[in-house]
Structure 1
């Protein structure tokens, strides 16, 4: 699987989901490469915090915020089972390159109709990319959700039946994710039995099933 997390709207949790998905796949014994293609380098900052703490490396990571990403990924993907791309926060030539590099694009959105509407430019770019990549798959991922709220249910209704579809798994707004960013650890390391850890495991399982 080569999956890119993309959305031109900031603050939707791209990096958090990319890191945690890579970590969950690695925890399952998979060989994983995370590519930080965001010029802000937040995933690389997280890895540096982890290194300073003397923690073991869970998965390989490189920074590659270049418009040639799609040409470089095939070589980088050799020897690993999964490549996760943490994409840039805007629709640019770099975002186009990330789309062309990926077999699947994951679009994190918060449970608000405005987040889905804000993805319109990215969706147009995906339609354009399918001219070169007919099998390109894309899915919305509901993230930073507050459980059992009307807003979450309304977001599901808003996204129901649209293209691309929304994944069943929703990831909540959890304190442990903020702690993860500060400490260079992941939710399953900080709180192995937490709801956050279970949600990430469920996300990985759903992506594995829908990738068949």
Structure 2
């Protein structure tokens, strides 16, 4: 049975799609069968995947891709239950009833939070909806600037949310945007060793949590 990971945050620019894509690449590199599902009408994950598809000469390679409307998520994810190890779902940057199907089918809800008080406030709505579905999300500090008081305060505040705060922190690095633009993950992108190490650490932590 595939493990389903849903990436959710109501504020745009939190890095949902970037985390989803990079973790998909990381899990696939570890020998897992991975499907990515784009339910965001903006289609950024789909654009990334098609860039990857064309880069690989029309071969899907290590990932399977699909799209779905918000209410079609459970049906689409169900297609991969028996054939894949993981299904990663990218959701729209909003909190309404359309998000509920993705939360309902999830084994883990990943909520990226940038080092901003506004993002921290925006996170509350996601956590409340997840709680109503009986889920306790994993909050990931994303696009953090090392050594700043704001980053330190937001990281401390994560501990007070109705979520588990990830120990792994994703820094604000240009390599993430550069890799996405080429259809790659930072694990594959030349000169992105520090970013790749961050994603590997987050993937390792998530797998440990899922294994209980």
Q: TM-score, normalised by structure 2?
A: 0.91
Paired position in structure 2 for 1:126: 130
After TM superposition, the runs of 4+ consecutive aligned structure 1 residues lying more than 6 A away are none
Write the mapping of 1:15-164 to structure 2, written as runs, cut at 5 A.
Answer: 15-54=17-56, 57-130=61-134, 136-164=135-163
Cα deviation, 1:30-76, whole Å, max 9, x if unaligned, reads 01111111111111101111222235522111111231322442332
Does the 8 A contact of 2:141 with 2:170 survive in 1?
yes
Cα deviation for residue 189 of structure 1 reads 1.2
Does the 8 A contact of 1:103 with 1:137 survive in 2?
no
Paired position in structure 2 for 1:202: 201
1:14 aligns with 2:12: no
1:167 aligns with 2:169: no
Cα deviation for residue 97 of structure 1 reads 1.0
* CA distance in structure 1 between the partners assigned to 2:48 and 2:77 by the alignment: 22
5+ residue gaps, structure 1: 131-135
Does the 8 A contact of 2:24 with 2:36 survive in 1?
yes
Q: TM-score, normalised by structure 1?
A: 0.91
Does the 8 A contact of 1:176 with 1:191 survive in 2?
no
- Number of corresponding residues: 207
| CA 75–47 in structure 1, closer or farther in 2 if over 3 Å, else same | closer
Does the 8 A contact of 1:33 with 1:77 survive in 2?
no
5+ residue gaps, structure 2: none
